[in-house]
Amino acid sequence: MYLFVFNYEIILRIFRHFWKFIPTYVHSNSFKQSPPMFYRFKSFVFSVALLISYSSAQGQVTEKQYLLGQFDPTVHPDFIKPADIYTKGSARNQWMRKEAYAAFVKMAKEAKKQGISLVIISATRPFATQKSIWEKKWKEREALPELERAKNILLFSSMPGTSRHHWGSDIDINELSNAYFSQGNGLKEYEWLKKNASKYGFCQTYTSKTDGKRTGYEEEKWHWSYLPLASHFTKRYEKTVQYADINGFLGSDLATELQVIEKYVKGVACP
Ligand SMILES: [Zn+2]
């Protein structure tokens, strides 16, 4: 919003700068006798200024909006739509950061050579997408008291505004199921990822909590963070986002009580 206002101010200033010459121009060209033409010219200039300020505001986003997922990845210059061969399900229409995608493609190609298939099943989910996931689960659990309801959803799903899927650096791979990764092909894929993903910058964010080193979400063998980007965003999140920023969805008033920033956003195996 700040950038939008800033741009808008600049354009208005430029506009005012030229504005004062307009009457002279009009006078010297005998336009003075035809006011309608003059007003049409004025409205034309104003429309162009408005259009320029609107288009320059597209794709620009403050750091806080970015971290909260309040932007459109499809118009953001740092994002790319992954090729269909690397995605399935809802990821087909989701974008991700260019660097993270390039690293994933390298990793998937190398895995393929070793008989391991890796596919992205979820990539960037903006605030609105996370809100619909959260609120669907919120309504499905209506029988539970609100605090229990939120805790139950938080086993595997983030409150909107607190998900690493907002950042374009994090992806879910192959299946959303720990059971899948515990046997057969899934186990082979998981073993391969554990051994090799770090070479490409990826880390399993939500590991087992049994050693007591991590708080927050349960283990997710499918969720991988591209650390060259994600580590930076984690640090910036701690500095930039406050509880007052986490709002706009059912149950958001419980964020403070549940300490979602301390326990969930910071509850990662690879900070
Ligand atoms: Zn995930």
Burial level of 59, CB count in 10 A (0-12/13-18/19+)?
Answer: middle
The pLDDT, as a whole number, for residue 49 is: 57
How far is the centre of ligand 1, averaged over its atoms, from the C-alpha of 216 (Å)?
13
Cα separation values, 35 from 30, 46, 203, Å: 10, 16, 67
- Clarify whether residues 225 and 122 are in a common domain: yes
- Clarify whether residues 184 and 53 are in a common domain: no
How far is the centre of ligand 1, averaged over its atoms, from the C-alpha of 122 (Å)?
7
Handedness of CA 130, 142, 246, 9 (dihedral sign): positive
How far is the centre of ligand 1, averaged over its atoms, from the C-alpha of 101 (Å)?
15
Give the integer Cα–Cα distance in Å for 128 and 134. 10
How far is the centre of ligand 1, averaged over its atoms, from the C-alpha of 73 (Å)?
17
How far is the centre of ligand 1, averaged over its atoms, from the C-alpha of 154 (Å)?
12
pLDDT in tens, 182-211: 999 999 999 999 999 999 999 999 999 998
- Clarify whether residues 234 and 101 are in a common domain: yes
pLDDT band for position 1 (50/70/90)? very low
Cα separation values, 249 from 93, 130, 133, 158, Å: 23, 10, 11, 12
Asked whether residue 66 is assigned to any structural domain, the reply reads no
Give the integer Cα–Cα distance in Å for 52 and 34. 28
How far is the centre of ligand 1, averaged over its atoms, from the C-alpha of 160 (Å)?
13
Give the integer Cα–Cα distance in Å for 164 and 205. 10
- Clarify whether residues 102 and 227 are in a common domain: yes
pLDDT in tens, 114-162: 999 999 999 999 999 999 999 999 999 999 999 999 999 999 999 999 9
The pLDDT, as a whole number, for residue 5 is: 41
How far is the centre of ligand 1, averaged over its atoms, from the C-alpha of 270 (Å)?
14
How far is the centre of ligand 1, averaged over its atoms, from the C-alpha of 58 (Å)?
27
How far is the centre of ligand 1, averaged over its atoms, from the C-alpha of 221 (Å)?
9
- Clarify whether residues 50 and 100 are in a common domain: no
Look up the domain containing 46 and give its range. 2-60
- Clarify whether residues 40 and 131 are in a common domain: no
Higher pLDDT, 81 or 5: 81
- Clarify whether residues 54 and 98 are in a common domain: no
CB 260 within 8 A of CB 246: yes
The pLDDT, as a whole number, for residue 156 is: 96
The pLDDT, as a whole number, for residue 60 is: 78
How far is the centre of ligand 1, averaged over its atoms, from the C-alpha of 142 (Å)?
24
- Count of the separate structural domains present in the chain: 2
- Clarify whether residues 85 and 206 are in a common domain: yes
How far is the centre of ligand 1, averaged over its atoms, from the C-alpha of 220 (Å)?
8
- Whether residue 15 is predicted with pLDDT greater than 80 in this model: the reply is no
Percent of the chain with pLDDT over 90: 76
Asked whether residue 70 is assigned to any structural domain, the reply reads no
How far is the centre of ligand 1, averaged over its atoms, from the C-alpha of 46 (Å)?
46
Q: What's the whole-model pTM score?
A: 0.79
pLDDT in tens, 32-59: 555 566 666 666 666 655 555 555 555 5
How far is the centre of ligand 1, averaged over its atoms, from the C-alpha of 77 (Å)?
23
How far is the centre of ligand 1, averaged over its atoms, from the C-alpha of 204 (Å)?
10
- Clarify whether residues 191 and 249 are in a common domain: yes
How far is the centre of ligand 1, averaged over its atoms, from the C-alpha of 170 (Å)?
7
- Clarify whether residues 145 and 238 are in a common domain: yes
How far is the centre of ligand 1, averaged over its atoms, from the C-alpha of 126 (Å)?
13
Please list the alpha-helical segments (H only) found in the chain: 2-19, 22-28, 35-57, 63-67, 98-113, 127-140, 146-153, 184-196, 227-240
CATH at 137 = 3.30.1380.10
- Whether residue 249 is predicted with pLDDT greater than 90 in this model: the reply is yes
